[in-house]
Structures are given as C-alpha cells and as structure tokens.
Structure 1
Amino acid sequence: MHRVFIPLDVTEPQIPPLQAVSRTFCGNSMGTSWTVQLFCLPAHDAQTLQAGIQAELDLVVTQMSTWEQSSQLCRFNRLPALEWQALPPEFFKLIDYSLYLSQQTGGAYDITAGKLVDLWGFGPAGKRSTAPTEKDIQAALRAGNWKSLELDHLHRRLRQTGSIALDLSAIAKGFALDQIARYLDSQEISSYLIELGGELRGLGMKKDQSPWWVKIESPSGSNGNIGTQHQEYLVALHGLSVATSGDYRQYFEQDGHRYAHTLDPRTGYPVTNELASVTVLHQECMVADAMATALTVLGCSAGLEYANQHQVAALFLQRTTNGFEEKMSKALIAMLD
C-alpha cells in the first residue's frame, strides 16, 4: 500500500516547454555519488551545466569537509584557543543555523561533536570495532559544546574557544543540494530532481505533466530480524527536499550490541531509542538534513512533540517486536493525498 504526500503552499509547477530536452548529469563528491535529472532548452550547454553543478559541490567541500585537511573547517579545528576565523557566507550560514537548531533542541543537535564522531569511528580518524572508554568519551565532551562557540555576526567570523572540533556532516550534504538548486534556478531551469547520497530536492514537473515522484528511504530489509513490512511512501517533490536519518547506515557491533553512527552529543553515546529512521520534508534541504538528525536524537516522543510545535513535516519509523511503528507529525499528515 502506498502513502502519497503532496506539497502544500508552493507555486504551480511549470510544464517544460515543447522544445525542452531531458538531460542527466552525475558525478562523485563528499564521499558519495550525485545525480541531477532535468529538462532544459537546447541552448543550454551540457558541459557548462555539468561544470556548474560540480563547482557548487566543490565549494562545499572546500569550506566544510572534515576529510580534506585544507578545508576551512579543518583549518578552524586546528586553530589555537581564542583565535578568530573569518567565514565565507556559505559557511557562516550553516554555523548560524546550526547554533539556532542547537538552542531550539537543547543540544540534541550539535556541530561541535567532531571529537566524539572520530572517537566512535565514524569520522576521518577511521573505523573501530569496539566502544570507546567512558574516560575517553568524557574527555571528548569536555572539548566543548555548541554553547562554547562564539559567532560574530557583525564581522562574520567564528572563534575557536579551546579544542573544539566542528563536524558539519549532518547538514553539509543538504546544503550542497540547495546550492545546486540555486545554480539551476540561476540558469532558468524550472524542472529538476537532485540526488546526493540519498537526499533529494526537486522542482517542477516532467513533460508528461507528472511530478518528480520519489520514494522515502526505507530501513526495510536492512536488518534480517525485522519481520513486518511497512508502507511505501511516495512524495511529489516540487519545491521540496527530503532527508532521512537512519540507524541502519553506519554502525558496528560489539557483544551483540549495535552502535549506530547517530550520536547524542548531550551524553556522548550513540542514540538508543529504537528509532529506525526519521525523514523530514522541507523546502530547504539544509534544514531537512539537520532536522532529521536532531529529531533522531530527541527520540520518537520528544521528536514528534518538537515537530508538531514547529510545523515540521516528519515521519518516524520505530522498531517494535512486530516490525515498524509509524508516527507522522501534523504537518506531514496535512500533506497526505
């Protein structure tokens, strides 16, 4: 059985002109692959579009990658205590929104968890097969949290207050999709579907006047001991983005216990709330990306309450002994067709 979601409060999608041609572009970035499907005029040069898309992705990597040691983020992480670093507008926007979301969620979302991410084996330091010690976890927590960051709005700069290590992996991919969308908009392309590492952003419709239908990523089949199949979810992706945070993507097992890659920055440990996945739909993929992580950390009950208070369209799939239990926020229910 399908659940179908239709976007609300968006402009009427434009039908591509008769002379529009379908093109698909693809490549690699940020440790994953990307694909852009679009309809454009014959006058649009394919090589120019490919290069323009890649340039937006390269900009995000240059500024925000934890893996490229020359990135602005890595340079900030190496700064001596109390030094300032000037931020380009894109980097500043992510820090500004991240601090807002941290405050809103009581620290459930925190971009200063870089040392924790590395410690648990989910960062550039490499994978691990055993849980770190309590002593090491507490040391990583003492490196600082979001409240330790000093962001100077007037001069658009950020202060390294001690030994903070930023990690933007829960928001940078989403922002990269937004950057690609802004580029395509600037080229007057009004029908496209962008995918990067499982996250999506779409606009417009196809020549047959059908929308860009996408499936919400599912944890079904990711764990052999899950029995009951849940519904299939379809979204008409016009003026919308979709991002999913799931405990089935990256994890390691030790003594029968699974440690997933989504960490609770308040405790220093991976989340253990039985949430298999959280999917968020939002106009900005940056917001959907970060919000999916924040709601996962909050858990189903507190996450659903937050989503309802802030009109966030969110789908929660929670593991039970009988399979998955589905919970939807009011904003998502309103989108049901």
Structure 2
Amino acid sequence: MSTDSQRYSLNGETMGTRYSAVFYAEAGLDIEAISRSLAQAVERVDQQMSLWKADSDLNRLNAAPEQTWLPVPKELASVLATALRVSQQSAGAFDIAVGDRVEAWGFGPCAPTITAHNVDTLAPRPRLSAHGGLTVDLQRHQVRKHAPLHLNLNAIAKGFGVDELARCLDGFGLTRYLVGIDGEMRARGVKPDAQPWVVAVEKPCRGRREVMGVMELCDAAIATSGDYRHWVDLEGRQYAHTLDPATGAPLCNTIAAVTVVAASCMLADAWATALMVLGEIEGPRLAQARGMDALFVLREGDQLKEISIVDGILQAQIENRPIQTPPTNTSPAQP
C-alpha cells in the first residue's frame, strides 16, 4: 500500500446500538458500495438472530416443533454450532437455552416488570441445556430441537456481526481496519504508521462510562461481558443481565467484567460470557488451561482487582483500584 493512504470512517445503526468501520486505503474507493455492504451484513445478522424481530429466523426456530429438522440460514447454523461447542468446552457455563429465564428476569423484548414482590417466583428450576437439546447440521444448514427450547443469542450474535463487518472489508481487499459493534471490536493489520489499533476497556461503573485502560489489537478481536450495562434494581439490590445457566438466575460472584481477545469476535464474545459465569476461581483457571488472553475485573468491597492472563499465563495482578473516581471527560480511545 502506498504511503499516501487515506482514512475512512463509516457507521450506522444495528442491534439497538451502532456499528463502526475505520479503515485505511488509497483514494478512489467506492465508499457507497462498501457502506451498503456493511449495512447489509449487520442487517442480515439482526434479521436472523434477533429476538426483537418477530419474523427473525431465531424466533422461527424457537417456535418450531420438537423433533423436526428446520432449515436455517448458514450464518445462523454456524453461530448455533459455535455456541454448542463453547458450551461443551466451558462445561455448560455458556448456554444459549436461557431465553425464557432472560425474559423472566426482565431482560428480553417481551419481559415483564420485575419487582421485589415477584422475584420469589423466579426460583431456580431444572432445565435442559442447548447442548443437550439441540442438534445442528452444518452441511445441510438445518437444526432440530429435542425439547422445548427458548434460545437467546445475545451473548454471541453481536460478536458474529463484527466478524461479518470484517468479512465485508476483506471482500473489498482492505487490509488495515478496525470494525466494531458497541464495545465488541475486530482489527486487521496495523495503521499506516505501523502502530497497532488501540481500543478502550471500560471501567465497570454503573450509570456512567469511564475508561479503565486500553488494549492494542492487530489481527485479533476483543469482547467484554460485564454486570454494569444492563441490570434491574430491586429495593437497593442490583441484578445483572448475565444469567448463570445452572440456576437460571443472575450471576452471584465477584466478577464485574471479563474481556477476552481471540481470533474471531464471535469467540471472544461467547468466551467473555462463559468466563464471567464460571467465576473468579474457575474462570481464570479455564482461561489458563485453554491458553487464552483474558482480563478479569473483580469487585472486592469498594475496590477493583484485575487478573490478567496472556497466552494462558497468569500475569501480575493489580489490586486496590478504587471503583469510584472523580468524573472526567474521558472517552474511548480514537483509532
């Protein structure tokens, strides 16, 4: 690529938030074609995997009868197969068959209003996992439920959407870019000055957005799962939107957030949730065993503790970082 490459920036709405694409290339690109391709890619993912669209392929699957093969788009089949694989590898910590419980706790499109008076009705109950109740045929692009399942892809679809944005730019021959949907990002190559892409990692503070640090990306993806974006407050007690598949109830551990760096954003997205569910002991242990790159942020009283794992090796732990800091005008690092 010539040294006079130009910086381009495109963005739009998707999945209740926004997508973005920043890339460097020589002048003269057909930006309108690239913009259309990006918009179509995320719209295709949303149409297939959203619970908020009544006619989505995911809602069609949830309504389908058991023991019947149902044709689905190849993208949806791929995401479902990946979800089942991560579920197996995480001993069930990642499970997309929690849709009914997500709704029951007030986090879905048809969710009831949760109050302190009806929270007792949400007691844990036996349930079948997606790994045990769903079969995916990748070759024929079809799936079959073995029991009534209400699937929810919120912990993996956004990451897949980011990968689709990357696939679009790859198709146009672009080799220096950073794409993202909300806080899930994927980078290819480096910037023209040979510097890696820099993305912000949020401090897990409820009610405001604050940067805790930054990470450098080159040919990698990053995703974060946390308890600080979506929650319900019942008489002073806050219940986060991430559910423990074992109980069907919001998590009850000290992890405030987990950030994972992986080859694909779909995997980073799913594993960030899985490691968060596993908790402060088993999460880092599995990340080390699998040779992963992960950052765990734990709440300990009014302090935060960071556990960093790089290539499966535990790094120095940072303790006693205050949760509350004076408000600032900081914003995510610019690519």
Bin for the TM-score computed over the shorter chain: 0.7 to 0.9
- Letter of the structure 1 residue corresponding to residue 271 of structure 2: M
Say whether the 8 Å CA contact 1:116–1:137 is kept in structure 2: no
* TM-score of the aligned structures, taking structure 2 as reference length: 0.87
Match of 2:135 in 1: 150
Aligned partners of 1:315 and 1:332 also within 8 Å: no
Equivalences for residues 1-337 of structure 1 within 5 A:
16-126=1-111, 128-130=113-115, 132-133=118-119, 135-138=121-124, 141-142=126-127, 145-219=130-204, 221-222=205-206, 232-331=212-311
> Contact 2:230/2:241 (CA < 8 Å) preserved in 1?
yes
Per chain length, whose mean CA-contact separation is higher, i.e. which structure has more relative contact order (CA < 8 Å, sep 6+)? 1
Over the residues paired in the alignment, what is the CA RMSD in angstroms? 2.3
Q: 1:203 to 1:154 in 2, by over 3 A?
A: closer
Equivalent position SS for 1:69: coil
SS class of match (1:115) = helix
Give SS of 1:293's match: helix
Structure 1 unaligned runs (5+)? 1-15
| DSSP-derived class of the 1:58 partner | helix
Identity among equivalent positions (%) equals 35
Look up the equivalent residue of 1:121 and give its one-letter code: G
SS in structure 1 at match of 2:97: coil
Q: Distance in 1 between matches of 2:172 and 2:315?
A: 30
Q: Number of paired residues?
A: 314
Matched letter for residue 319 of structure 1: R
Measured after TM superposition, the shift of residue 205 of structure 1 is 2.3
Instruction: Specify every segment of 5 or more residues in structure 2 that has no aligned partner in the other structure, as ranges.
Output: 317-335
Query: How far off its partner does 1:153 sit?
Result: 4.4
Deviation at 1:90, TM superposition (A): 1.2
Matched-pair contact (CA < 8 Å) for 1:245–1:278: yes
- Please report the TM-score for the alignment, with normalisation by the length of structure 1: 0.86
